[in-house]
Amino acid sequence: MELLVYSAPWCGDCREAKRFLDKHKIAYTEVNIETTPGAADEVVRNTGKRAIPQFVLDGKWVQPYRPGQGFLYEEMSALLGVTQG
């Protein structure tokens, strides 16, 4: 499984997403949209909006949070095959 996480240091939802991945020992490569040339444009090109965090799981773009609701623990747990706890 290859997982990219598009994020930025100032993004609270991004920090929460990375805490979830770290807690479950899920390996990922972080793409900082502030310091990686073209990364922010890549997010817009693939999602149609400037919204982070974004996961790219084996080439498929997934938004791991819902605005106003935060990180989608149950959905991401099922998608990534982890047990919540």
CATH of residue 30: 3.40.30.10
CB 13 within 8 Å of CB 53: yes
In a domain, 9, yes or no: yes
d(C-alpha 76, C-alpha 16), whole Å: 12
**Structural domain span for residue 18:** 3-80
Does the residue 63 lie in any domain? yes
The model's pLDDT over 7-55, given as tens digits with 9 standing for 90+, comes to 999 999 999 999 999 999 999 999 999 999 999 999 999 999 999 999 9
Q: Domain total for the chain?
A: 1
What is the value of pTM for the model shown?
0.93
For residue 85, being part of any structural domain is answered with no
pLDDT band at 84 (very low <50, low <70, confident <90, very high): low
- Asked whether residue 54 is domain-assigned, the answer is yes
Q: Give yes or no for a contact between 78 and 57, defined as CB atoms under 8 angstroms apart.
A: no
Residue 52 included in any domain: yes
Q: Which residues contact 3 (CB under 8 A, 6 or more apart)?
A: 21, 26, 27, 28, 29, 55, 56, 57, 58
Q: Amino acid identity, residue 13? A: D
